[in-house]
């Protein structure tokens, strides 16, 4: 049988950097092939070669047995190759409908867009795949999960023969993940070839038939999913040391209620139409995870705790003193740090350097009159880079050139530079590989050990069961249960959030 897509001997050199090294990959009709590896392993470079976004230094690509032109995205799309990228590739000011058909709208005579046909085709597509979207809504006004659905629809509308999915579920709740997996099975049954990139091993073992593992720009292993197991996959991805740390992470001693000192306390906290009657305590020396489906208003709650939003009723105390923050500045002054969900949009200055980003939350401490003490900033940055194991350890490197896991460590480090008494993190490891997760967990556990109160929002049940000392379950704007992590099972948590992980 002829492969839907085949890449042979693909390499890419940037100056002295060998980003891709003699890589082979193929996907057959009706096959879902996982492409996995740590951040920086070469996956994104390979995907860009296969979609025509970059021209390889050497190698060939074939679609259904025919040689494809290299470095030509339009031609690859015409030949039936579509890609859903990790970060949205959408026009935010345009409607959902226009985004789905952007650049290939159906036309009438004289070249005018056939809007009726466009809408009819979009509605048929939504119905066929059981996805709900407001076709007239501006994409920029949609929550992240809905923007990802627009990306999926945009790829499906191409009627592609090959779909590459780069972290397509990074921002999705478990129910939406299950829905996407069902869609993938339907596409597979129609003979499409799918290359599926994900750091979530649950997904790999649930939806993929085969896997290709990359490290340091090269393909180091291929296997049928049924013929391997998680420990072996993790070891191949990140090496023996980090694999061992990751496997041992869940065995760490739990510290429910930490030192017993209440750092943050909410009583009957409410915001009309968003959340209500939130009663919660966060203690020094513990990690409390709030979990639940996307849409359960977890993010809205922690934004309110940080002063980005206001509450309407109830009380909030920090270290026993009543507070009502008008803006994040007030929360920061009380020793609260906040790592937001979207590091690119809300957390980092991507064009600035690692050192500059690390100093962003503490600039006042580096002031020398009206100037900044650059040497002091550089020294602090060098120390933080070493402590956080940021790779490569180059303070002058623009943060946009780092892998996702290392970008996240920079964002966490920005707030750690203030030695926060309370650290709030919203989905801290989305799009982060197994090795980087282990490093971030190490950092957060260290903060707990030195007395910080750590509050994490996460929809990753595996992460919650690994890192939490206590677990709060949030459903439709309410806290419905709080558990000591060592006294509750994964299945109990899933039942309480009202979802079922496949």
- Predicted confidence band of residue 500 (pLDDT cuts 50, 70, 90): very low
C-alpha distances in angstroms, 403 versus 172, 198, 224? Answer: 21, 14, 28
- The topology (CATH level 3) of 241-335+420-502 is Rossmann fold (3.40.50)
pLDDT at 501: 39
C-alpha distances in angstroms, 86 versus 77, 89, 192? Answer: 18, 9, 21
In the predicted structure, residue 422 carries a pLDDT above the cut 90: yes
User: Domain map of the chain by residue range?
Assistant: 5-240, 241-335+420-502, 349-413
Structure tokens at 3: 């492969």
What CATH code is assigned to 5-240? 3.40.50.300
C-alpha distances in angstroms, 126 versus 46, 84, 119, 422? Answer: 30, 17, 11, 43
Residue position matching structure tokens 């790592």: 339
CA distance 87 to 170: 9
The set of long-range contacts for 74-77, using a CB threshold of 8 Å and a minimum separation of 24, is 76/50, 76/51, 76/52, 77/52, 77/158
Is the separation of the CB atoms in 358 and 336 below 8 Å?
A: no
Nearest to 350 by CA among 392, 393, 408: 408
pLDDT at 11: 96
pLDDT at 106: 72
- Predicted confidence band of residue 499 (pLDDT cuts 50, 70, 90): very low
Would you say how long the chain is, in residues? 502
pLDDT at 87: 66
Of residues 500 and 445, more confidently modeled: 445
pTM of the model: 0.63
Structure tokens at 250: 């869940």
Element spanning 242, H or E: helix 240-248
pLDDT at 142: 85
C-alpha distances in angstroms, 427 versus 384, 412, 499? Answer: 22, 12, 18
Of residues 463 and 31, more confidently modeled: 31
In the predicted structure, residue 69 carries a pLDDT above the cut 90: yes
In the predicted structure, residue 28 carries a pLDDT above the cut 90: yes
C-alpha distances in angstroms, 308 versus 159, 299, 304, 332? Answer: 42, 11, 6, 11
- 17 preceded by a cis bond (ω within 30 of 0): no
For the segment 76-86, what is each residue's pLDDT rounded down to a tens digit?
Answer: 988 989 888 76
In the predicted structure, residue 491 carries a pLDDT above the cut 90: no
pLDDT at 247: 58
Range with top average pLDDT, 153-157, 211-215, 295-299: 211-215
pLDDT at 243: 56
pLDDT at 275: 94
> Environment class of residue 116 by beta-carbon count within 10 Å: exposed (0-12), middle (13-18) or buried (19+)?
exposed
CA distance 128 to 208: 22
- Predicted confidence band of residue 39 (pLDDT cuts 50, 70, 90): low
Is the separation of the CB atoms in 302 and 424 below 8 Å?
A: yes
Range with top average pLDDT, 134-148, 318-332, 369-383, 433-447: 318-332
* Coil/strand/helix, residue 165: strand
Is the separation of the CB atoms in 307 and 333 below 8 Å?
A: no
Is the separation of the CB atoms in 297 and 477 below 8 Å?
A: yes
For the segment 240-266, what is each residue's pLDDT rounded down to a tens digit?
Answer: 555 565 556 556 678 899 999 999 999
């Amino acid at each position: 049988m002829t492969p839907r897509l085949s890449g042979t001997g693909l390499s890419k050199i940037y100056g002295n950097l060998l980003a891709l090294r003699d890589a082979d990959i193929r996907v057959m009709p009706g096959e879902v092939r996982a492409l996995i590896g740590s951040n920086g392993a070469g996956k994104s470079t390979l995907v860009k070669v296969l979609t025509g976004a970059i021209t390889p230094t050497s190698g060939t690509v074939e679609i259904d047995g025919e040689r494809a032109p290299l470095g030509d995205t339009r031609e690859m799309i015409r030949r039936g190759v579509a890609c859903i990228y990790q970060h949205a590739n959408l026009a935010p000011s345009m409607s959902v409908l226009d985004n789905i058909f952007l650049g290939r709208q159906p036309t009438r005579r004289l070249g005018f867009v056939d809007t009726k046909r466009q809408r009819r085709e979009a509605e048929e597509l939504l119905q066929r795949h059981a996805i709900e979207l407001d076709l007239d809504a501006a994409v920029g006004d949609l929550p992240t999960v809905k923007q990802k659905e627009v990306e999926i629809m945009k790829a499906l509308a191409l009627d592609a023969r090959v779909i590459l999915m780069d972290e397509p579920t990074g921002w999705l709740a478990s129910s939406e993940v299950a829905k996407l997996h069902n869609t993938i099975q339907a596409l597979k049954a129609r003979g499409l070839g799918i290359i599926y990139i994900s750091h979530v091993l649950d997904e790999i073992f649930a939806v993929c038939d085969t896997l290709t593992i990359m490290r340091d720009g090269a393909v180091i292993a291929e296997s049928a999913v049924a013929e391997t197991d998680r420990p072996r996959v993790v070891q191949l991805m990140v090496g023996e040391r980090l694999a061992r740390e990751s496997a041992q992470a869940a065995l760490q001693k739990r510290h429910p209620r930490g030192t017993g000192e209440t750092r943050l306390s909410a009583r009957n906290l409410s915001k009309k139409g968003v959340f209500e009657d939130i009663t919660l305590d966060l203690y020094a020396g513990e990690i409390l995870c709030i979990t639940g489906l996307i849409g359960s208003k977890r993010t809205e709650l922690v934004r309110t705790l940080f002063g980005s939003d206001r509450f309407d009723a109830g009380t909030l105390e920090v270290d026993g003193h009543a507070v009502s923050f008008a803006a994040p500045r007030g929360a920061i002054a009380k020793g609260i740090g906040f790592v937001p969900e979207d590091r690119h949009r809300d957390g980092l200055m991507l064009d600035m350097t690692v050192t500059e980003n690390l100093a962003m939350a503490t600039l006042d401490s580096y002031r020398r009159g009206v100037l900044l003490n650059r040497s002091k900033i550089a020294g602090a940055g060098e120390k933080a880079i070493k402590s956080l194991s940021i790779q490569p350890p180059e303070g002058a490197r623009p943060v946009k050139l780092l892998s996702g896991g290392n970008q996240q460590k920079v964002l966490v480090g920005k707030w750690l530079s203030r030695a926060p008494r309370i650290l709030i993190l919203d989905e801290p490891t989305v799009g982060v590989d197994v090795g980087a997760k282990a490093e971030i967990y190490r950092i957060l556990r260290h903060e707990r050990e030195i007395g910080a109160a750590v509050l994490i929002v996460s929809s990753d049940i595996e992460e919650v069961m690994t890192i939490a000392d206590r677990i709060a379950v949030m459903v439709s704007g309410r806290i419905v249960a709080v558990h000591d992590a060592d006294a509750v099972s994964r299945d109990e948590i899933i039942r309480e959030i009202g979802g079922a992980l496949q």
